[in-house]
């Protein structure tokens, strides 16, 4: 019997890798994606890696009727909810779009869990809920949350709050917030990966697009921070590890008898600076990466990385891949894109 799992945003960067991990572990992923922020190339990649046509519904999850039809059609074992806007800067310019899409979509999905008796739910949250860590740079799930800097951050912060209130009102559900650190890398086949629309905001796509020649140089946003080399420090997690974390989370939820709500950090537990990324990229790929030091970017956290022990203890999951693997895979994906 098929174990259907709804993956909203399943044609996106993290969603597509999770679709593969789900199928590899015996689930039947059902993608709901309207492709507003996804690309057909990823769909072709999914086909070639999966070896079959993925179950895909081109719907906007903010549309109640479309979601009702989907929940009527399948009896889902669980839902993994990725579909959301994710660009911090854009969210400052278009806050209403972010609140509309990210919060209405989440509320709509939660309503359908209730009406269709689907118990297991995994939410794409973010380490952005911790803000700039005060004192200790390694944050655990018990580190107090702080108010975010951007409307995007608020949608994750409020998303967790909505889920907490939903849990109080319907405690039979099994709910998990996965707080991602910085997802990077691509599938080792180089057939799916991150596909930023327009100029990338995030570091890794900018690095690979610079190396391939789309930009003359990378700008490092500040090298005068109080860190070991002056540049900001993040916990970069390979998207393959991140995808597996979702399957581990779902397996865990399915095996629980009682309703619950948990938050789990998904990171490596290691911090890497922007300058270290540049050096590692050059070392791993043999390509030189021109860069300049620019001014600080407003709103940047200086240093943060995960305490990743809860994921290991609760889910039996930990990261297997390192930043070198991620850079190698991201570069192979960029090179593949250049052949299209
Ligand atoms: N950076 C550069 N140059 C660039 C792009 C980024 O130096 O061209 C630096 C940033 O200043 C930062 C680091 O690279 O120090 C990582 O930046 P990203 O934009 O890749 O990632 P962020 O850590 O800023 O953002 C990520 C997610 C957000 C999330 C946030 C929470 O992309 O969704 O973490 O901290 F909200």
DSSP for 171-191, please give it: TTSEEEEEEE-EEE---TTSS
Distance from the alpha carbon of residue 259 to the mean position of ligand 1, in angstroms: 35
Number of the ligand 1 atom closest to the C-alpha atom of 221: 7
Task: Judge if the beta carbon of residue 315 lies within 6 A of ligand 1.
Answer: no
**What pLDDT, on a 0 to 100 scale, did the predictor assign at position 197?**
84
**What pLDDT, on a 0 to 100 scale, did the predictor assign at position 6?**
98
DSSP for 254-268, please give it: HH-SS-EEEEEEES-
How far is C-alpha 317 from the geometric centre of its chain's CA atoms?
16
Instruction: Single out the residue of 315, 318, 316, 295 nearest to residue 306, CA to CA.
Output: 318
The Cβ of residue 143 has, within 10 Å, a number of other Cβ atoms equal to 19
Cα–Cα dist 134/242, whole Å: 26
Using one digit for the tens of pLDDT, what is the confidence trace for 20-29? 999 999 999 9
Using one digit for the tens of pLDDT, what is the confidence trace for 136-180? 999 999 999 999 989 999 999 999 999 999 999 999 999 999 999
Nearest CA to ligand 1 atom 32: 202
Distance from the alpha carbon of residue 189 to the mean position of ligand 1, in angstroms: 25
Nearest CA to ligand 1 atom 19: 202
Distance from the alpha carbon of residue 66 to the mean position of ligand 1, in angstroms: 34
Phi-psi region of 269 (alpha: psi -120 to 50; beta: other; left: phi over 0): left
With a CB cutoff of 8 Å and minimum separation 6, the contacts of 135 are none
Query: What φ, ψ does residue 197 adopt, rounded to 5°?
Result: -90, 125
How many residues are given for the chain?
A: 340
Task: Judge if the beta carbon of residue 220 lies within 6 A of ligand 1.
Answer: yes
**What pLDDT, on a 0 to 100 scale, did the predictor assign at position 1?**
86
Using one digit for the tens of pLDDT, what is the confidence trace for 283-308? 999 999 999 999 999 889 999 999 99
- Residue 31: pLDDT band with limits 50, 70, 90: very high
With a CB cutoff of 8 Å and minimum separation 6, the contacts of 65 are none
**What pLDDT, on a 0 to 100 scale, did the predictor assign at position 198?**
86
Query: Of the residues 82, 87, 88, 224, which should be mutated to test ligand 1's pocket, given the most ligand atoms within 8 Å of the CB?
Result: 88
Q: Which residues are catalytic?
A: 152
pLDDT at 196 over 90: no
3-class DSSP state for residue 255? Answer: helix
Nearest CA to ligand 1 atom 10: 221
Cα–Cα dist 42/1, whole Å: 28
Mean pLDDT, the chain, as a whole number? Answer: 96
Query: What φ, ψ does residue 95 adopt, rounded to 5°?
Result: -60, -40
Q: How many CA atoms lie within 13 A of 337 on its CB side?
A: 22
**What pLDDT, on a 0 to 100 scale, did the predictor assign at position 38?**
87
pLDDT at 256 over 90: yes
Q: Spell out the CATH class of 4-184+237-267.
A: alpha beta
Cα–Cα dist 313/123, whole Å: 19
Q: What is the mean pLDDT of residues 17-39?
A: 96
Written as six digits, the tokens of 307 are: 């305490």
Using one digit for the tens of pLDDT, what is the confidence trace for 51-72? 999 999 999 999 999 999 999 9
Helices 203-211 + 274-285 axis angle, to 10: 40
Number of the ligand 1 atom closest to the C-alpha atom of 218: 8
With a CB cutoff of 8 Å and minimum separation 6, the contacts of 235 are 127, 181, 182, 267, 268, 269, 270, 271, 272, 304, 305, 306
Distance from the alpha carbon of residue 233 to the mean position of ligand 1, in angstroms: 9
Query: What φ, ψ does residue 93 adopt, rounded to 5°?
Result: -80, -30
Cα–Cα dist 117/148, whole Å: 33
Helices 64-73 + 105-115 axis angle, to 10: 40
Distance from the alpha carbon of residue 202 to the mean position of ligand 1, in angstroms: 5
Using one digit for the tens of pLDDT, what is the confidence trace for 79-117? 999 999 998 889 999 999 999 999 999 999 999 999 999
**What pLDDT, on a 0 to 100 scale, did the predictor assign at position 191?**
97
CB 145 within 8 A of CB 126: no
pLDDT at 192 over 90: yes
Residue found by looking up tokens 């956290």 in the block: 301
Task: Judge if the beta carbon of residue 206 lies within 6 A of ligand 1.
Answer: yes
Task: Judge if the beta carbon of residue 210 lies within 6 A of ligand 1.
Answer: no
Whole-prediction pTM value? 0.97
């Amino acid at each position: 019997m098929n174990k259907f799992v709804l993956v909203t945003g399943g044609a996106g960067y993290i969603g597509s890798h999770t679709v593969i991990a789900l199928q590899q572990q015996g689930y039947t992923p059902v993608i709901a994606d309207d492709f507003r922020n996804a690309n057909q190339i990823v769909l072709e990649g999914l086909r070639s890696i999966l070896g079959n046509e993925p179950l895909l519904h081109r719907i906007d999850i903010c549309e109640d009727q479309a979601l009702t039809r989907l929940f009527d059609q399948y009896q889902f074992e669980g839902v993994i909810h990725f579909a959301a806007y994710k660009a911090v800067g854009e969210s400052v310019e278009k806050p209403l779009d972010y609140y509309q899409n990210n919060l209405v979509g989440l509320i709509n999905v939660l309503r359908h869990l209730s009406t269709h008796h689907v118990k297991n739910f995994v939410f794409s949250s973010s380490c952005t809920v911790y803000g700039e860590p005060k004192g200790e740079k390694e944050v655990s799930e018990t580190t107090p949350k702080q108010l975010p800097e951007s409307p995007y951050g608020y949608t994750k912060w409020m998303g967790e709050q909505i889920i907490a209130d939903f849990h109080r009102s319907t405690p039979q559900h099994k709910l998990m917030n996965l707080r991602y650190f910085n997802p990077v890398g691509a599938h080792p086949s180089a057939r799916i990966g991150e596909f930023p629309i327009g100029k990338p905001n995030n570091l890794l796509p900018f690095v690979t697009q610079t190396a391939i020649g789309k930009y003359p140089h990378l700008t490092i946003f500040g090298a005068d921070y109080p860190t070991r080399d002056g540049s900001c420090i993040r916990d970069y997690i390979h998207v393959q590890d991140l995808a597996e974390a979702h399957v581990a989370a779902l397996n865990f939820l399915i095996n629980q008898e009682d309703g619950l709500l948990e938050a789990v950090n998904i990171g490596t537990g290691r911090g890497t600076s922007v300058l270290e990324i540049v050096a590692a990229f050059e070392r791993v790929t043999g390509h030189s990466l021109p860069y300049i030091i620019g001014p600080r970017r407003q709103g940047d956290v200086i240093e943060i990385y995960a305490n990743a022990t809860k994921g290991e203890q609760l889910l039996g999951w930990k990261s297997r891949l390192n930043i070198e693997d991620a850079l190698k895979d991201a570069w192979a994906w960029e090179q593949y894109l250049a052949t299209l």
